Amino acid sequence: MFGFNRNKRKDEATIVDISQIPLETEGNLQESEIVTLSIAPSEVSGIASRIRLQPGLLIGFISQDLPFEEITARLKAEMPAGCKFLFGTTAGELCSISGNQSMSNLYSESTPGEGQHIVLMALSREIFTDVQVHSIPLFSEDISGPAPRTAAERVRLIEAELQKVNLPFRVNFQDTLAMTLIDGLSSSENFLMEAIYQSRLFPCLFAGGSAGGKLDFKATFISDGHKVYRHHALVVFLKFRPGYRFGILKSQNFNRLDVSFVVSAANPVKREVMEFLDREALTNVNIIDSLCHHFRCRPEELEARLADYSFGLEVNGEIYVRSVMNIDLQRKVISFYCDVSPGEELYLLERTDLAEATNQDFQTFIKGKPEPLGAILNDCILRRVFNQSSLPKVQTFRDLPSIGFSTFGEILGVNINQTLTAIVIFREDPRSEFTDEYVDDFVNKYSGFKDYFKSRRERVLANVNLLMEATLDRVSRNLPVMTTLVDALIDALGATKDVRNALIRVKDTFESYTSQVAVSQDQNSALSSS
């Protein structure tokens, strides 16, 4: 039903089945399945000697201050044939273990978006039967221009590109994961996800993040080892070998409050929200006015009041965070790091302790699972920015080989903010059944993600209908008053006509009197001159 058999792209590289390449046994290369490293640019040369395995995939997150294209080319040259690659720039790096040495802090200590760091994860080809990397154009070059394409047009274009993807294996949500890395300034994460669900081609989880960079938000870069991309997404389809499994950890340090706002006017392409719906008065209210009313503050105080809060929408009973990017007091508009559409209900969220929330979520996630082999951490830059004092306390991954990066957005079925989305890899324990909430409940979650995009349009129509009904109701309730007013106006108009006629008669009389006076003056003048 999902249309797995598609024509191969003409420009697609020759498929290499990594499971068919004989393993090297000299030098005891198969000591582990995953190796993580934190290195300086000078350590790239000879890096293969520190990776004690035959890599099927090398993942690298690279500080924006470094020459990205040069570094990725050097890393690729160090790796053996058959290795696939996924590289991206960061707004900060994460690494728990470098080689055999534990890092003192999970988070790099450089200013966000700066530094000279490279973090790497090499995954043995023993873990996978196949690894396929595909680049997907996002057509986002025009988003900041004066006449950008509509959201629907973008989704159609991206879906057409997805139709060109041809995978040499059957996609099964239990053993296939789509690890996704997106240009962090494309503003197209949800356009990609909606196109994926509309295509019905890939019944598996999509998890990952948006490349980070400097906080001037000028550029981010991604690479598959062959080319550096902007305005694209890279999707790595991982087909896990029997005996290996993956799980998804989602962690965010917020509590949902019993307060929500319904978006009534927004631009999803520009990620701007203009108005909320006043559900009591059934009228539209400017978003800044509405939030100032809630927080009892002046507009210039709103940014400070929101420092410990964020917003979130509910999908499948879970909260997916939507973070404020900018408050434009002059235009009275608020922009977000995720697209927000009319009709969506945004819940107000209150920040909690980052280290405590991360550890609690991990303990819940790991319960009943075997010891993990490694983790890829997609961690929002806002978690780093707003939780500085908590970062050194995050010790959750100190014994687990992990790398990651501070993202400009995360992907877990839909686009989210201020969230840790971690891909955790396991070797199955034959004595017990492997379970994972996101994998085991995939059918419901996939359906919920797909319905989220479909229901957006329905929510817009529902809001329009609600406002129309409210308008008609107000007209109906005020009809007797309006009738009385109309009668009064008719009476007033009649009285006005009577006054007008009287004034005309006065004017005629005055003009006649003036004429008679003029005639009398002429006669007197003639008499005096005779």
Tens digit of pLDDT for each residue in 301-360? Answer: 999 999 999 999 998 889 999 999 999 999 999 999 999 998 899 999 999 999 999 999
Look at residue 167 and tell me if it is in a domain: yes
What does the CA dihedral 295, 300, 302, 303 come to, rounded to 10 degrees? -160
Q: What is the pLDDT of residues 260-308, one digit of tens each?
A: 999 999 999 999 999 999 888 888 999 999 999 999 999 999 999 999 9
Domain match, 109 and 157 both: yes
User: What predicted TM-score, i.e. pTM, was given to this entire model?
Assistant: 0.82
Domain match, 200 and 340 both: no
Residue-wise over 63-96: b if at least 16 C-beta within 10 A, else e?
bbbbebeebbeebbeebeebbbbbbbbbbbbbbb
Domain extent for 268? 254-351
Domain match, 288 and 195 both: no
Look at residue 467 and tell me if it is in a domain: no
Domain match, 201 and 74 both: yes
Domain match, 69 and 193 both: yes
The answer to which of 43-57, 80-94, 222-236, 491-505 has the lowest mean pLDDT is 491-505
CB 381 within 8 A of CB 416: no
Q: When comparing pLDDT for 496 and 21, which is higher?
A: 496
CB 417 within 8 A of CB 323: yes
- Would the pLDDT of 18 be above 50? no
Q: What is the pLDDT of residue 147?
A: 84
Structural domains counted in the chain: 2
Domain match, 84 and 190 both: yes
Q: What tokens were used for 478? A: 């005020």
Domain match, 104 and 199 both: yes
Look at residue 465 and tell me if it is in a domain: no
Q: What is the pLDDT of residues 451-486, one digit of tens each?
A: 888 877 676 676 666 666 666 666 666 666 556 665
Domain match, 304 and 426 both: no
DSSP reduced 3-state for 268: coil
Look at residue 33 and tell me if it is in a domain: yes
Look at residue 84 and tell me if it is in a domain: yes
Domain match, 144 and 262 both: no
Look at residue 193 and tell me if it is in a domain: yes
Look at residue 479 and tell me if it is in a domain: no
- Would the pLDDT of 502 be above 80? no
Which among 440, 461, 482 is the end of a domain?
440
Which among 351, 376, 408 is the end of a domain?
351
Domain match, 177 and 260 both: no
Q: What is the pLDDT of residues 125-177, one digit of tens each?
A: 999 999 999 999 999 999 988 889 999 999 999 999 999 999 999 999 999 99
Domain match, 60 and 161 both: yes
CA–CA separation, 274 and 285 (whole Å):
9
Domain match, 302 and 182 both: no
Look at residue 425 and tell me if it is in a domain: yes
Q: What is the pLDDT of residue 508?
A: 61
User: What CATH number should be reported for the domain holding residue 283?
Assistant: 2.40.30
Which among 440, 467, 482 is the end of a domain?
440
